[in-house]
Amino acid sequence: MRASFIHVADTHLGYEQYGVRERFNDFSRAFWDVIDEAINRRVDFLVIAGDLFNKRAIDALTLIHAIEGLKKLHDLNIPVIAIEGNHDRSYYRDGVSWLQFLCYQGYIKLLAPIMQNGVPQLTAWDQNTMLGSYIDLLDGQLRVYGLPWQGAATSRSLEGMTQALKEARPEEQGQGVAYRLLMMHTGVDGIVPRVHGLPTMAQFQGLSDQINYLALGHVHKPYEFDGWMYNPGSTETCGAEEAQWEDRGYYYVEIDTDAPERIIDPERKERFHHAVRLVSRRRPFVRYDLRVDGLVEPEALYKRLEDYCRREGPAYQGVQPVVQIHLTGTLAFDAGSLDQQRMEELVRRAFEPLFVRIDNATNDQDYVPDDGDIDGRDRSMWHELERRIFEELVGLDSRYLPAKEQWSTVLSNLKASALRKDDAEQIAQFLREKRATLLPPV
């Protein structure tokens, strides 16, 4: 038997990232490109390992875009087999998901086993009821199983599926099943540090002898193991951290069960297939960590950002990237003095982006009060204690450090004026005069 298929997951159709409508279109275009590739390569079928949609309650245009792609395969009699991801499932009150709707309309074949005590029941997909855990293709020689998102029950369901496949193998071999493919919407623990609660690699090992190809989804970072476990990653960039995984996309897989199964090493066997990860075409996503340590004033930060933009921006002319600048480190001045619009404008001039975002994840310098020999319980010393606290706080901003003693007195006077309810214009004029005197000219 010879066959070919495409494995895709996490297309997240309908995601209007950052509230930008063109990003909505980007996710659809990435999906349509996969469809066109499937047609160009004349595959026998396509599998979607969950999260076709970005959310459970989609709008009409998202559904139209999904159908626009799936209809091309439907018209060419190329089956699309799918499972639900955590983003696809219906709300309990609705009962029917949009993937089930697409199944009822004939655009996909949705697999979902009935679970009994954590064990999936292996039943053939029925055209009339549109229910079942597997479907046979290519005259019954290739069997595709599906296990949708199981949440907290994933490890138990994985164990149950492994056992069920083992028990079904003798009968399947008698029926002429030569190749087994299993779709699961889950990942391997530890692939992405912030994604927790997934099965460990050891828990997956039992499947290794039961299936030829494990088609995963859910984790947006691409990875594969030992010639049988494959995760393509997201087709578009759902978050800034994904920009570092440049090889995200989908798999094109060719199967040849007539080729002799050859031993590569005692722990790994060739699985009768050759899988190639294809990088999906997507909008460039630029993420830069700008360190602020050692910068003593906002102008120095703007200069560092401008230098980066001048250096990297020209490479993205004409492609309208999404740009995220991530400010990190410890600021030596008040974060409130940063001009957000000015920083964004620096990025816009250099990159001509579709969207720019400046994230401030900096730390303030730690303030540890040092009251020396002052006893805070002595009310007569409160004024001096307050002055010292003002002095130390002002000293955390490098712009005010050279005259911190004078500034502490200014702050004490401002506080006293405010408590007396002095005229606001007089207070403002006092502050303007002190700034002119104590701050160096710009």
Q: Please tell me whether residues 340 and 418 are part of one structural domain.
A: no
pLDDT in tens, 351-379: 999 999 999 988 865 545 555 555 544 44
Both 342 and 426 in a single domain?
no
Q: What are the pLDDT digits (tens) for 177-193?
A: 999 999 999 999 999 98
Note the pLDDT of residue 370.
Answer: 56
Are residues 313 and 353 both part of a single domain? yes
- For residue 62 the two structure tokens come to 């998202």
Mean pLDDT of 213-228: 96
Lowest mean pLDDT, pick from 231-245, 285-299, 426-440: 426-440
Pairing of strands 114-116, 109-110: unpaired
Together in a domain, 233 and 344: no
Query: Where is the domain boundary, 229, 250, 279?
Result: 279
Residue 64: which H helix or E strand, with range? helix 60-75
- Cα–Cα distance measured from residue 115 to residue 137, given in angstroms and rounded to the nearest whole number: 24
User: Is position 301 within any domain?
Assistant: yes
- Tell me the C-alpha distance between 200 and 83, whole Å: 21
373 within a domain of the structure (yes/no): no
Residues above pLDDT 90, as percent of the chain: 67
Residue 105 domain-assigned (yes or no)? yes
pLDDT at residue 431 in the model = 82
Angstrom distance (rounded) from CA 134 to CA 4:
18
Residue 256 and residue 235 share a domain: yes
What residue type is 241 in one-letter code?
E
Distance CA 408, CA 393 (A): 9
pLDDT tens-digit profile of 260-275? 654 344 444 557 999 9
* Other Cβ atoms closer than 10 A to 201: 13
pLDDT tens across 129-173, in order?
889 999 999 999 999 999 999 999 999 999 999 999 999 999 998
User: Does one domain contain both 328 and 222?
Assistant: no
CA angle 346, 350, 352 (to 5 degrees): 105
- Among candidate residues 336, 364, 392, the one where a domain is terminated: 364
Strands 330-331 and 363-364: parallel
Same structural domain, 60 and 105 = yes
Best CA proximity match to 360, nearest among 332, 329, 333, 393? 329
Average pLDDT over residues 399-406: 68
Any domain includes 428: yes
Residues 356 and 385 in one domain: no
Residue 281's alpha-carbon distances to 10, 200, 242, 356, in angstroms, are: 14, 31, 14, 20
Say how many domains are in the chain.
3
372 found inside a domain:
no
Confirm whether 145 is domain-assigned: yes
Angle at 69 (CA atoms; ends 66, 74), nearest 5 degrees: 110
Q: Does residue 254 belong to any structural domain of this protein?
A: yes
Q: How far apart are CA 255 and CA 300, in angstroms?
A: 58
pTM above 0.75, yes or no: yes
Are both 323 and 403 inside the same structural domain? Answer: no
The CATH number for 25's domain is 3.60.21.10
State whether 180 and 93 are in the same domain. Answer: yes
For 298-324, how does the pLDDT look when each residue is reduced to its tens digit (9 = 90+)? 999 999 999 999 999 999 999 999 999
C-beta separation of 183 from 111 below 8 A: yes
Domain co-membership, 272 together with 410: no
| Domain housing 411 | 379-438
**223, 248, 279 — which closes off a domain?**
279
Identify whether residues 342 and 208 lie together within a single domain: no
DSSP string, 359-415: EE--EEPP-----TT--TT-GGGHHHHHHHHHHHHHHTSTTTGGGHHHHHHHHHHHH
Decide if 10 is inside a domain. Answer: yes
Q: What confidence tens digit (pLDDT) does each residue in 234-243 have?
A: 999 999 889 9
Lowest mean pLDDT among 69-78, 252-261, 276-285: 252-261
